[in-house]
Amino acid sequence: MWLSSELMFFAALFAMYFTIRSVVPEMWAEETQKLAFWFALGNTSILVLSSVTCQLGVFKAEHFQPRRTGGLLNVGRWGLVEWYYASFFLGSIFIGGQVYEYATLVSEGVAINSNAYGSVFYLTTGFHGLHVLGGLIAFLLVIGRTYAARRFGHREAVFAICVSYYWHFVDVVWVGLFAVIYILQ
C-alpha cells in the first residue's frame, strides 16, 4: 500500500512536469541546454548498479547468508551485509552526484526560484533525492538489524527484501525521471 501511495505521489510530480512544460515550451528548450546529459547518464548508471547489488543482497538473504563466508575481496562469498553496504555506497555516490549537478546548475542560473523550469526540475529530482536518502537509511537499518540478530532468520530476510522493493521502486522512478528530463528535453 505504501509503495502505491508513493507511485501516486511521483505520478503527480510527472503530471506537474508535463503540464508546466506544455505551457512554456520555449523555456524548456532554453534551460535543458544547461543539463549535463553524460554526467547524469553516468550518475544514473551508478544508481542502476546499486539496484543490482541490492538484488544480490536479497539473494543472500533468501539463502539466510547474512555475512560473507570468505575474504573481503572474494565477492562471490559476500553476504547480505556486504551487498547492502555496496548499495549504500553507490546510492551515496548518486546523491553526491545530484548535489554536484545542483551546484553546477545554480552557478549557471538555474535555481528553484529562477523560473518554472527550475522549480519543476528541483521539485521532481529533489523529492526523488529525499527518497534515495530514505533508502540509504533503510539499508543501514537492515545492516544494523542483521548485526543485532542472534540468528538471522525469516523476519530479517523479509525486512531486507521489503527494503529492496523500495530501493528498486526508487531506481525505476529515477529511470523515468531521467528519460523525461534528460532524453525527452
Domain spanning 36-184, CATH architecture: Up-down Bundle (1.20)
State the average pLDDT over residues 7-19: 92
pLDDT in tens, 26-60: 998 899 999 999 999 999 999 999 999 999 999 99
pLDDT above 70 as % of the chain: 100
pLDDT for position 2: 78
pLDDT in tens, 121-165: 999 999 999 999 999 999 999 999 999 998 999 999 999 999 999
Q: Rounded to whole angstroms, how far apart are CA atoms 157 and 142?
A: 9
Residue 185 in this model has a pLDDT that exceeds 80: no
Residue 18 in this model has a pLDDT that exceeds 80: yes
pLDDT above 90 as % of the chain: 88
> Which cell goes with 18?
508535463
